[in-house]
A and B are shown apart, each in its own frame.
Chain A
C-alpha cells in the first residue's frame, strides 16, 4: 500500500502512534519549545477574528432591521400590493425611426393608435361594465364576454379587447371613464406609410414577431408582442430603426385605475433613415406602371444610387401595422401576380433582345466582328436542320452592327453569337453583373441564370450551337432580374464600372447626429475594352433615334436604350392575352454624360418598344424636368415602328 495514494487515512490505520510521533515531528518544535510562540503569533489573528465577528454581527443586524422595515413597517402596504399583484408592468414601445427620400420628403412615419384593454378583476360589476362597453364598441355583450374569457391568461392581466380603435370609440371611452372601471386605453405608435403601396416592396412592413420567429436564436432578444421590420428596408435596417423600448411600473388602485406611477423609463426613438430614392420620380414611375405587372428600377449610373424602384402590383403596408385578418393575408399570398414580391430583385425574366448588348460586346471583345461587319437578314437562319426566324417577316436586308442593334435584328445576332461563342458571351455577361445577386442586401435576391462557362466548348454535354444561337438573343437558358439589367446598363453607360446598388444614404439620430453614412461601392472595373463599350453605346442611341425604341425619344435629349421582347411561350399566339411576351426596355441619358439609367419590364406586356419604352420616356422626362426645368417635354416624334 503506498502512502500517497491512500493518503492519511491509511497512515492512520497502520500506525497511530507513528502518526502522533510524526505530528509531533511536524509541529513538535513549536509545541515543545515554544507553546507561547504560537499563542503569541496567533494573538493578532484572534483579535482580527473578533473584529470579523463584530462585522458579521453588524451585517446580520442590518438585515434584521431591513426585514423589520419591509415586513413590519411596510408589511400591510406590500401585503395589499401582493393581493392583486397591484404592481403592474407596462412596456412602452419606442417609436421607430422615420424614413425620408433624398430630398427630405417623409416616406414612412408613425401614427398614434389606441388599444382598448379590460381587466375583469378590476370591475366591481362586470355585467354592468360589459353592457356599457358593448354599446360603445357596437358588439353584443355576449361577444364581449366571450372575448374577455378567452383573453384571460393570468389572474390580473388586462385583456386586449380591440386593437387600433377608432377616434369615436376613444372619445366615448374617455367620456365614460368613471362608469368603466377596469377599462383602459393604451397609446401605441403604429407604422404608417403615407404613400400607401408606393415603394412598398422596397420599404417593407412591420408586424409583431411571430411565434416561429421567437423560437429561433436570431430573435432571442425579442419578447412576444414586440414589433419588428419584416421585409425590405424595415427589416434590413431594423436594428437602426427600432429604438429602445421603455417601461412603466405602475401601481393600480382597487378598481384597476392607475393610482401611482412608480417608475418610468422613457423609450428612445429609433434612428431616421435618409434614402437615395426620389419620391417624386417614384410617383411618376408608379403612375407609368399603374395597372400593369412588372418592375422598374432607376439608378444613378455612376454611383449605383437607386432613384426609383417599383414593383407592381403592390400592397398596402399600412394593413400590416394593424392586425391583418387571415383573409387579407390569404388574398395577398394567393394573388397570382405576387404583390408581396419585389420583382426588381426576385423576378427572373428572359432578357430577350436587351441581351443582344452582351452578345455584341462578346463578339467585339473576341474580335469576331467589327462595327462595320455586315450580315444579310432575309428573315430566316438555318442551323443544321433547324430554321430560326427573325421577328420581322421578310428580313432586314444587309446591316452593320449599329443598324442591327437599332433594329434588334435576330439574324444578325444569330451569326454574331456563333462567332463569339457561348464562353465569351458568358464571360461578358458575368463581367456586367449578370448571374449574381446585386448585393443590395434587401431580402432574398434571385441570381438569374447565365449559361455555364464550361458550356463554351461545343463538346460540353447537352449544349449545342442551337442553344448558343438562342442565348445570343436572350432566350433559352438565360434569365436576369431587373436589378441586374439596370446594373448592366449602368456599367455600359459609365464606361465600364460596376457599382453595387444602394438605397440608404445615411442614418441619423433624432438630434441629427450622423450614425452611419453610405457611399458608392465599386464592385469592379469590368474587363471589357472601353472602345467596345462606346460602340455599343452608339448602337443604343440609334435604337432610340431611329430604331425599335423610338418611343423613348425626347427632343433635345440624347437618350440611349435597348428594347427587348422576351418570349414566354413558343408559339405564334404569343401576342395575345395573358400569354403575351414580357416587354423590356433598358436605357440611360444623356448618352454622353449619363445621369440616370433605367430598366423596365412589363410582364406579358407585349413588345418592349411599344409598352416599356414609353414608360422609360415618361420617367426620363420627369427626371430631367425635376432636375432641370429647361428641357421641354413634348410628345415623341414620328410614329413608332412596330416590333421588338
Chain B
C-alpha cells in the first residue's frame, strides 16, 4: 500500500498538468470575485451571500478534481451507461417532483442540496458517446452506427426541453452534433436529423404548458416581452460597453451593481467582469479560455485511443459552445437563451460539472503516456 501511494503521488506530481489545474482554479476564484463585486450594498441580503455559496462550490469542485485524477479515466468508461441511466431517471423525476425555480423545474433536492441533473447530463452524454464509439471502433465507416447516438441524445433533450430549459437542450444538441461530425457523420445526415427534429418539435411543443410556451417564445422573440429580455440585453450591452478599454475598476461596476442587470450573477456574469476590467479584462478572460481549449484539443489530437479522444474533444466542444454563446448573448449578437459561462456563472451544478470536465482532461493528460 505504502509503496503504491508513494509511487502514485510521485507519478501524479510528475505528470499532473499544474497549468491546466491553475486555469480552472483561477477561473473559479475570478467567479467568486465578480459575483462579490456585483452584489453591492444595494442588493438584497440573499444576493449578498451568493459569493459565499459560489466559493463553497468552487472549493468542492476543485477538491472533486483530485480523486478523479487518481484512478485511470478508463474507469469512467465502464460507468458511462450507468451514469447516463441514472441521470435520465433523475430528469424524469425532476419533471415529476422537481423544485421550481423561475418558473422552470430544473432542480432535484437531495437533503439540503439542490442538484440540476440536466447540467450533469452534458458531461454524461460525452462519456457515453465516447464509450459507444470506442466499443464499435471497427464499424465507424457505416452510417448505421450513428442512429443510436442520435436517439441517446434526443431522449434527454426532450426531457430537458420540457422543464423548459432551452439553453441546456441546445447544449446537448450542439455537444452531440460536434462529436458525431468529428466521428464522421456526414453533414447531410446531420441535416436530415435536423429536419426530423424540426418535425418532432410541434409534437413536443404540444406537451408544454402555456406559460412554458410563452417563456420559450420570449426567448426566441425578445420583442414579445418589451419589459423583459429585450431590456436585459440593452442594459447588458451598456454594461459591457461602458467598461471601455481598461474598465471602471474593481467594485465600480455601477451598471451591473445597481440591479439594472437582472440575474447578473448567473447568465450575465460576463457583463460585470467586462464593466469592471474593460476590454483588457475581457480579452484576458478569452485568452484563458483559449488556453484551456487548446490544451483539450491537443489531448484530443494526440490521443492514443478513441475514448480519450472523444472525451477530450467533447469537453472542449462543451466549454467552447457555452463560452461563445454566453458571451455572444451578453454582447447582443445572439438570442438570449439560458446558457451559463463555464466556471464563471453562479450555480453549483454548473460549477461542479465544469470542474469535473477539467478533472477528466487532467486525468487523460496524466495517463496518456501509460498505454
Contact = CB atoms under 8 A, between A and B. Distances in A.
A25 to B, nearest CB: 12
Contact of B238 (A8, A41, A87): A87
B235 A87 contact: yes
A49 B293 CA distance: 12
B74 A8 contact: yes
Contacts of A75: 241-245, 279
Interface string A71-93: 11011111101110101010100
B290 interface: yes
Interface residues of A, number: 55
Contacts of B1: 13
Given A8-B71, A38-B304, A52-B317, A68 B4 contact: no
A184 B51 CA distance: 40
Contacts of A67: 240, 274, 279, 282-283, 286, 331
Contacts of A78: 237-238, 240-242
A53 B297 contact: yes
Interface stretch (B25-33, B161-169, B176-184): B176-184
A46 B70 CA distance: 28
A12 B8 CA distance: 10
A66 B333 contact: yes
A74 B237 CA distance: 10
B371 A23 contact: yes
B234 interface: yes
Contact of B227 (A81, A154, A247): A247
Contacts of A91: 227
B328 interface: yes
Interface string A287-320: 0000000000000000000000000000000000
Contacts of B71: 7-9, 12
A68 B274 CA distance: 11
Contact of B313 (A49, A87, A263): A49
Interface in A132-155: 154-155
A9 B140 CA distance: 31
A262 interface: yes
Contact of B237 (A56, A68, A70): A70
Contacts, number: 156
Contacts of B231: 89, 247, 249
B10 interface: no
Contacts of A265: 223, 226
B309 interface: yes
B178 A71 contact: no
B289 A60 contact: yes
Contacts of B274: 67, 71
The binding surface of chain B is classed by DSSP as helix
Contact of B324 (A59, A79, A82, A245): A59
B61 interface: no
A638 interface: no
Interface in A518-538: none
Given A45-B309, A263-B226, A52 B242 contact: no
A72 B4 contact: no
B343 interface: no
A67 B283 CA distance: 8
Interface in B321-359: 324, 327-328, 331-333
Nearest to B287: A60
Given A59-B320, A85-B255, A246 B309 contact: no
A64 interface: yes
A66 B331 contact: yes
Contacts of B258: 85, 154-155
Interface string B305-318: 11001000100110
Which are the 5 A-B pairs with shortest beta-carbon distances? A78-B241, A247-B226, A82-B242, A265-B226, A75-B244
Interface of A: 7-9, 12-13, 23, 27, 31, 38, 41-42, 44-46, 48-50, 52-53, 56-57, 59-60, 62-64, 66-68, 70-72, 74-79, 81-83, 85, 87, 89, 91, 154-155, 223, 245-247, 249, 262-263, 265
Interface of B: 1, 4, 8, 70-72, 74-75, 78, 137, 140, 178, 181-184, 223, 226-227, 230-231, 234-235, 237-245, 254-255, 258, 260, 274-275, 278-279, 282-283, 286, 289-290, 293-294, 297, 300-301, 303-306, 309, 313, 316-317, 320, 324, 327-328, 331-333, 370-371
Given A85-B258, A263-B230, A265-B226, 12 more contacts: A12-B72, A23-B371, A52-B297, A67-B282, A71-B282, A72-B244, A72-B245, A81-B238, A87-B235, A89-B231, A91-B227, A249-B231
14 contacts: A23-B370, A41-B137, A42-B309, A49-B300, A56-B320, A62-B324, A62-B333, A66-B333, A71-B243, A72-B245, A81-B242, A85-B255, A85-B258, A247-B226
